[in-house]
A and B are shown apart, each in its own frame.
Chain A
Amino acid sequence: MQDLHFMNFVGGADLFGYVGIEAVLDQMRMKTMKAGFEFNIMVVGQSGLGKSTLVNTLFKSKISRKSCTPNYEEKICKTVKLHAVSHVIEEKGVKMKLTVVDTPGFGDQINNENCWEPIVKYINEQYEKFLREELNVNRKRRIPDSRVHCCIYFLPATGHRLRPIDVEFMKRLGKMVSIVPVIAKADTLTVEERQEFKEQIRKDLDANGICVYPQEEFDEDPDERLLNHRIRESIPFAVVGTDQEHQVNGNKVLGRKTKWGIIEVENVAHCEFANLRDLLIRSHLQDLKDVTHNILYENYRVRRLNESNITFSELELSSWPTENGTDKSQL
């Protein structure tokens, strides 16, 4: 028996009076607040670029332990060891489980060939975990989400151009995760130097076909495209991080005190930290999650379901195809 389906449009003018449909927004708001949110962020960059400080500044709490503190066990890692730490933070009734994945050892060796492999593996493992949960016959009501929603890639403020390791990393991971490149310790660049550096980086990204967040191909409508275009024109953000407060003009501000002045972290005239924070947290956090779930995860799933000769037990030995198609086992 065929189902007959008729489509009609009943516009606002055709509703004779208030129905209360818009109350669904509040219902949704309440439900999501009750359920809480998860957000997983990865920081990648060689040691000494201020990764932990930046994360702490972003989330205004001591999430990561800085490697420069005296108690930190300084081991020279031969390989990149990923390290994920979760915390629950709450703001105005909104609970968020924040997981920060650190990648000590990345870019620190003399020979950095393949230092991205453990990172690629980690990201794929999280996708795999989610996929398996999703494919279960008996599924959890809410599948725990450990997929990396955002990867902040730290570029040292050399002022020149992207280094080969930067290009390699972003090329390979650009299709798997949303990469947000930032210029670290940007207080060593003047405004003009910063501008030139950013332009050069954007040129390099273009020349190498690297897609960073917000990815142009995922823009859904003209408004979004316009908004994201403006963001794409100003990345990578040049940031400075700190956890210390100082007095400036009678106000307490977050800043770095130097002999020649105080660098106010949240002052947009000084650095672009506020822009980064607004992008990552205040405006595009949900979008980062959506892109990861609706596009990047789906891409992984398609690839995975098409590979009928790889079973879970072979996960340890399987070769993950990289974006440019080369087999990792041959690298």
Chain B
Amino acid sequence: MSSFKGPDKGPRGLNLAGHVGFDSLPDQLVNKSICQGFCFNILFWCQTCETGIGKSTLMDTLFNTNFENFESSHFEPQVKLRAQTYDLQESNVRLRLTVVNTVGFGDQMNKQESYQPVVDYIDRQFESYLQEELKIKRSLHNYHDSRVHACLYFISPSGHSLKSLDLVTMKKLDSKVNIIPVIAKADTISKSELHKFKIKIMSELVSNGVQIYQFPLDDETVAKVNTSMNGHLPFAVVGSTEEVSVGNKMVKARQYPWGIVQVENENHCDFVKLREMLICVNMEDLREQTHTRHYELYRRCKLEEMGFKDTDPECKPVSLQQTYEAKRQEFLVELQKREDEMRQMFVQRVKEKEAELKDAERELQSRFEQLKRLHADEKANLEDKKRLLDEDQSSFSKRRAAAQLLQAQSFTANGKKDKDRKNSGFM
């Protein structure tokens, strides 16, 4: 038998007498990630907006490309959610970006339950990951992570307040995904109205307990910029892929007769802030929050639903193995019971059928007997009749014979008399 002493509680710090070289560790880690590539999945969602709110344009502007070039011409009217994956590359970083968009949602008359497909989609991705994690032979290392990392929630630029459907939807989503609220088509609201609108939205979110994504403040390098950004939420955005010449540059902008709204001008809209926050500063945090908070919550709920616990009723730790075994036994017993039931039912049915058939047979038999009897009776009857007829016939023929004989006798007697007379006449 052997024993070992575990590590000391609270390891001591040690001073290094020289350069060891493990400061390259973050670089080693980053290099490995570069080889593997990154996954990022964004959901563009609008519950209360009509189509044409500018989601696709914003997508294109954010990632500085024309996603529509890659749009397939295949159109499915029944499909409400569409996920498209793009492999982007910038210098040596490969990003597998999946954009989940909704098709034709805003035009529906009845929007009550229309957030359900979105919630289901998010859950399906979690489920998919959970299934992989629970497999015996798994490859999480190479798994294509399809869980939604960020949800850009579009708010209609009404200028007044959040619609109640928006609040309900966001409340449903806030424990499942990082929500970043965005005011679309912000160039339709004036600056002062926009400011009031933003404050109203944020206060409504807070008072309704909707937990939108907060840019993290724990890292000093980004705390400052994140704090200021948190104050600009929700981001008022304008999207455009058209380029207009302003001064001596070509910039992305929307040209109106009364002026040019420049997408990347921070005075005109918050687009630059959105891109900063979403990609340049917090992409990794969004991924981490999705994994450590939203996914863990899903996993916990799912496992508890399935009956797994960490401690049994006596508060002793229960291993997943034991629970799994217990469930398996339960399942096998259930299967056996059902099998027995089925077998019994089958036997029962066979018996019934047999009885039925026996009855039918008996009935047939009795009918046969009956018919046979009838037939015999008839036959007897007929025999009787025949006999009578025969008797009749024989008595008739006897009488006829007797009559004939008499007749013959009388005739010969007469003839003899005649003859005698004749003969006597001659004498």
Contacts and interface: CB of A to CB of B under 8 A. Distances in A.
A94 interface: yes
Contacts of A6: 70, 72, 82-85
Interface stretch (A137-145, A205-213, A256-264): A137-145
A308 B5 CA distance: 30
Interface in B138-154: 138, 141
B423 interface: no
Contacts of B2: 79-82, 117-118, 121-122
Interface string A25-36: 101111111100
B275 interface: yes
Nearest to A144: B7
Contact of B117 (A1, A28, A86, A301): A1
A28 B88 contact: no
B91 to A, nearest CB: 5
Given A12-B89, A23-B279, A88 B12 contact: yes
A14 B321 contact: no
Contacts of A287: 28, 32
A137 B324 CA distance: 13
A89 B20 contact: yes
Contacts of B3: 81-82
Interface residues of B, number: 97
Interface-centre pick from A3, A122, A298 (highest chain B CB count, 10 A): A3
Interface string B1-17: 11111111001111111
Nearest to B142: A294
Given A19-B63, A27-B284, A86-B11, A138 B300 contact: yes
A21 B17 contact: no
Nearest to B2: A118
A286 B36 CA distance: 14
A294 B93 CA distance: 23
Nearest to A139: B296
Given A3-B81, A30-B219, A81-B2, A23 B281 contact: yes
B84 A29 contact: no
Contact of B6 (A14, A58, A81, A84): A84
A94 to B, nearest CB: 5
A92 interface: yes
B427 interface: no
B190 interface: no
Interface stretch (B178-186, B304-312, B386-394): B304-312
Contacts of A281: 20-22, 24
Interface residues of A, number: 93
Nearest to A9: B87
B380 interface: no
A73 interface: no
Interface in A39-95: 39, 58-63, 79-94
Interface in A279-316: 281-287, 290, 294, 298, 301-302, 305-306, 308, 311-312
A28 B284 contact: yes
A294 to B, nearest CB: 5
A305 B319 CA distance: 12
Nearest to A125: B4
A1 B30 contact: no
B221 interface: yes
A102 to B, nearest CB: 10
A225 interface: no
A31 B70 contact: no
A87 B21 contact: no
Contacts of B279: 19-21, 23-24
23 contacts: A4-B79, A8-B84, A10-B63, A15-B89, A19-B62, A21-B93, A21-B279, A22-B92, A28-B33, A31-B284, A32-B25, A32-B29, A58-B20, A81-B2, A82-B4, A89-B14, A89-B22, A90-B13, A137-B300, A221-B35, A281-B24, A285-B28, A286-B25
Can you list the 9 inter-chain pairs with the closest CB atoms, starting with the nearest? A118-B2, A82-B4, A86-B11, A27-B284, A20-B280, A286-B28, A86-B7, A135-B320, A8-B70
Given A117-B2, A118-B2, 11 more contacts: A1-B117, A3-B124, A6-B84, A22-B93, A23-B280, A29-B30, A59-B16, A61-B15, A83-B5, A86-B11, A305-B321
